[in-house]
């Protein structure tokens, strides 16, 4: 049940969005038991971000929410893969890519409820 929301301060065209979606779908496999089959991905472009007091470079803020991986298995490799994707597809400098991981304790898809307790 992973969810990735990406926010960048630059435009994303349709071809770039497809590349991001496809490559994130492959990268999610670095986390145990996950695949694109269960991935929900969202993209927001042209966000207003200031980093180090400036907004003159590409910036990315990415939130990754994962259910049932409280030991963070694969997170280091997944972070490296996300960084590579955003550098190659959108030319965001690595030091301008911020990734936040959220551990999900409970999750629902429609009326189906999951709880890791």
Q: Residue 52 has what pLDDT?
A: 95
Segment 32-41 shows an average pLDDT of 93
Domains in the chain, ordered, with CATH?
3-115 (3.30.429.10)
Tell me which residue of 43, 26, 45 sits closest to 34, measured CA to CA. Answer: 26
Q: Residue 89 has what pLDDT?
A: 98
Segment 83-96 shows an average pLDDT of 98
Segment 93-102 shows an average pLDDT of 97
Torsion on CA atoms 73, 76, 79, 85, rounded to nearest 10: -100
Count of CB atoms situated within 10 Å of the CB of 46: 10
pLDDT at residue 117 greater than cutoff 80: no
Residue pointed to by tokens 């694109």: 36
């Amino acid at each position: 049940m992973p969810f990735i929301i990406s926010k960048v301060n630059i435009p994303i065209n349709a071809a770039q969005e497809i590349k991001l979606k496809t490559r994130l779908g492959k990268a999610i496999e670095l986390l145990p038991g996950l695949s694109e089959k269960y991935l929900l991905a969202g993209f927001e472009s042209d966000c207003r971000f200031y980093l180090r007091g400036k907004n003159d470079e590409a910036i990315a803020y990415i939130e990754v929410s994962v259910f049932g991986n409280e030991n963070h298995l694969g997170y280091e490799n997944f972070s490296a893969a996300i960084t590579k994707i955003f550098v190659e597809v959108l030319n965001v400098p690595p030091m301008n890519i911020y990734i936040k991981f959220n551990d999900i304790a409970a999750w629902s898809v429609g009326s189906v409820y999951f709880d890791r307790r």
